[in-house]
């Protein structure tokens, strides 16, 4: 079943991400031709899981923190059953992918990303916003290689009283030691710690605190038990130790970081309008009286076959008019999506996917050329899930979009490499003119 769908002035395209409460799709502003990201949330799911306040806070925060190094939220729309969050479309993928592919980054490149990260975090703090989940997977790259902070789902706004935060949250390897306690913590100091861990990862290619046993991990974080590899410059080593100070009261502050000689090398702060007015009227309207802000949803449905990918999506996907990026994994390794192409019929592709998944002891759910694979993660700590969707991109040419829906990113990398090796009979390599195991946009390490 093929659908061409519109939400207000936006033409909705392919799925580019999926989470517990939201689906993320590529969309196009029909008035300007601009590509955007559309985050779609089911109102029933938000109400059922009592997520209204958290979602409203996340949206409000993203409107407040307007900065060139933060993913921009354009507007919020409401349908009868759904909420549509319109975000800046960032084409370069996750910084995490770049680290997975390259390992450690050169010190100058690491410093550039760190400078942009610190600028973005400083802007958030100036607005009284604390991110609380800073990690490479929440740092995106635009087409020019500039960093963009995303995912403010765990962010906190200013508090009353002592101003301390008390919710333990974040990703264990990046979380500050004081967050693990129950005495309250300074959100700004906790974010600075996470920035320090990110800088270490960029320059080392691995984590400063990395243990499979949580008790051992927390013990090392609390004691700041780590060492810098020999290739770190003395200046970088010194700064990282000042950031990864287990005492939040003596930990270096952002204004001092920005005056550090190592940080200031080739530092060019980005220019932007600091006095830009921000209205939260659309946010209030969406959550206070959703029916009054109803945006019509229209679908043009055609029978038979998988979804068709339109020309605009193809151009965006393939980095302009250069279609070689579709077929050469080395050219676009940093993008979030993994995909391969096939000249086999769509139904044959789905049948092969299902058979391979079952051979890997995964549960399979297929509907309308979209398949969800589910299993238990390798460490048995939670669910692992992958979604595959078949698109027709030309006569007898199909693209299969593959994305992680749940589980660890590194585990997904390993899964994808193994999964595609088993599908080599249906994967097409245009350079050889036949099916091959050369993959598109492989993120496996």
Q: Could you list the residues known to form a binding site for ATP, using ranges.
A: 48
Compute how many other C-beta atoms are within 10 angstroms of the C-beta atom of residue 169: 14
**426 Cβ partners below 8 Å, 6+ apart?**
342, 344, 348, 349, 352, 435
Report DSSP state, residue 356.
H
| Phi then psi dihedrals of residue 299, to 5 deg | -125, 135
Extract the tokens encoding 428: 């097409």
Strands (E), 92-226: 139-141, 147-149
**311 Cβ partners below 8 Å, 6+ apart?**
none
d(CA 247, CA 353) in angstroms, rounded, equals 51
Which residues does the annotation place in the binding site?
48
Compute how many other C-beta atoms are within 10 angstroms of the C-beta atom of residue 426: 21
d(CA 342, CA 430) in angstroms, rounded, equals 10
Give the rounded distance of the alpha carbon of 113 from its chain centre. Answer: 16
**Tokens 């238990």, residue?**
376
Extract the tokens encoding 403: 């994305």
3-class SS of residue 402 = strand
Looking at 133, 151, 191, 245, which residue is catalytic?
Answer: 133
**Residue 308, strand partner residues:** 392
133 is catalytic: yes
**Residue 37, strand partner residues:** 26, 87
Give the rounded distance of the alpha carbon of 273 from its chain centre. Answer: 26
* Residues labelled as active-site residues: 133
């Amino acid at each position: 079943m093929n659908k061409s769908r519109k939400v207000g002035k936006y033409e909705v395209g392919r799925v580019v991400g999926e989470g517990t409460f939201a689906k993320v799709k590529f969309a196009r502003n029909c008035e300007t031709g601009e590509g955007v990201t559309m985050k779609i949330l089911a109102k029933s799911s938000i109400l059922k899981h009592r997520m209204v306040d958290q979602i409203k806070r996340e949206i409000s925060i993203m409107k407040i923190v307007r900065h060139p190094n933060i993913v921009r939220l354009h507007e919020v729309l409401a349908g009868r059953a759904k909420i549509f969050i319109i975000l800046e479309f960032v084409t370069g993928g996750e910084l995490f992918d770049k680290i997975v592919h390259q390992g450690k980054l050169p010190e100058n490149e690491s410093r550039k990303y760190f400078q942009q990260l610190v600028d973005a975090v400083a802007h958030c703090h100036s607005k009284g916003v604390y991110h609380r989940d800073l990690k490479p997977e929440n740092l995106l790259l635009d087409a020019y290689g500039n960093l963009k902070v995303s995912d403010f789902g765990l962010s906190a706004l200013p508090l009353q009283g002592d101003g301390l935060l008390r919710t333990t949250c974040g990703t264990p390897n990046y979380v500050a030691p004081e967050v693990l306690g129950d005495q309250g913590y300074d959100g700004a100091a906790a974010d600075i710690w996470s920035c320090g861990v990110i800088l270490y990862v960029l320059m080392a290619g691995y984590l400063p605190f990395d243990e499979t046993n949580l008790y051992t991990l927390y013990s090392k974080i609390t004691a700041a038990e780590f060492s810098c590899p020999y290739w770190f410059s003395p200046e970088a080593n010194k700064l990282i130790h000042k950031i990864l100070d287990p005492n939040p009261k003596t930990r270096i502050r952002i204004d001092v970081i920005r005056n550090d000689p190592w940080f200031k090398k080739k530092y060019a702060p980005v220019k932007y309008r600091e006095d830009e007015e921000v209205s939260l009227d659309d946010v209030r309207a969406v959550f206070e009286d959703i029916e009054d802000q109803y945006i019509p949803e229209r679908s043009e449905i055609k029978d038979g076959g998988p979804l068709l990918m339109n020309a605009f999506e193809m151009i965006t996907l393939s980095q302009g008019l250069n279609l070689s990026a579709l077929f050469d994994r080395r050219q676009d390794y940093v993008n979030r999506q993994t995909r391969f192409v096939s000249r086999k019929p769509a139904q044959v592709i789905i049948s092969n996917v299902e058979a391979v998944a079952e051979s890997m002891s995964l549960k399979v759910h297929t509907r309308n050329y979209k398949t969800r694979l589910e299993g238990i993660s390798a460490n048995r700590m939670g669910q692992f899930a992958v979604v595959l969707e078949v698109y027709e991109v030309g006569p007898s040419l199909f693209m299969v979009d593959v994305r992680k829906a749940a589980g660890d990113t590194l585990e997904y990398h390993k899964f994808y490499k193994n999964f595609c090796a088993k599908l080599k009979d249906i994967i097409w390599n245009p350079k050889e003119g036949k099916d091959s195991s050369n993959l598109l946009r492989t993120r496996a390490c």
